[in-house]
Amino acid sequence: MKLYYSPGACSLSPHIVLHEAGLAHEAVAAPTKTHKLADGTDYYTINPLGYVPFLVLDDGRTLREGPAIVQYLADLVPEKKLAPPAGSFERYQLQEWLTFIGTELHKGFSPLFGGGANDEYKAAVKERLLGRLAWVDAQLAGRDYLMGQQFTVADAYLFTVSGWPRVVGMDLSHLPHLMAYRKRVGERPAVVAAMKAEGLIA
C-alpha cells in the first residue's frame, strides 16, 4: 500500500500507525504547500482534494480521511490491539477520541496555519485550543495512553496534533500529563521511525 503524506501534517498519524502495525508500505511525500511530488507529478491528479493523508491499496482502492485510515490499518492486524474490536463499546470510545481530536483540536488549528486571520481572532483561537488541551491533560491523569494502558490509533493522532502548538507559539508547559504523554509516545520505536521517515528528527 502507499501513503501520501506531508511532513508533520495530520498524515503523520497513519504513518505512525503503519509502523506500529508493521505493515509494508511506501510513503510518498506530497507537500501541502506545493502539491508536487518529488518527480514533479501534480498531486491533484492523484487526490483531487489535494490534501493528506491519502492511502492507496495494492488493488487501487483508496481512503482519504485519517480516522478512517487508521482504523482500517488497525483492523488489518487485530493482534496488535491498535483499536478495540469492532462493535465493542471500547471501539466507540476510540471513535469518540478520534472525532474529538479531529473536530475540536485538528480543525481548531486551521486559522493559525492559514493566512487572513487577524491577531485578535488568533488569540481567541489559541485560548479555545488551550482549554480543550487542558481538558485532555486532565483525562490523561493516571493513564499512559488515551484508552488506558494500551496504545491505540487515537494516540497516534493526538501525538501528531499536540505537536502543533509549538509551531504556532503556544506554551503547553503548564499541562504536565500531556507533556509526559508526548514524551512517552515520542519514544516509541514506531513513532521515531515515522518521524525520521518524514525528516522531522535526525
- Grid coordinates given for 114: 492559514
Give the per-residue SS3 of 78-139.
HHHCCCCCCCCHHHHHHHHHHHHHHHHHHHHHHHHHCCCCCHHHHHHHHHHHHHHHHHHHHH
CB 38 within 8 A of CB 22: no
CB 59 within 8 A of CB 114: no
For the segment 59-100, what is each residue's pLDDT rounded down to a tens digit? 999 999 999 999 999 999 999 999 999 999 999 999 999 999
For the segment 109-137, what is each residue's pLDDT rounded down to a tens digit? 999 987 677 889 999 999 999 999 999 99
Q: Show the domains of the chain with their CATH numbers.
A: 2-81+190-197 (3.40.30.10), 89-188 (1.20.1050.10)
pTM: 0.96
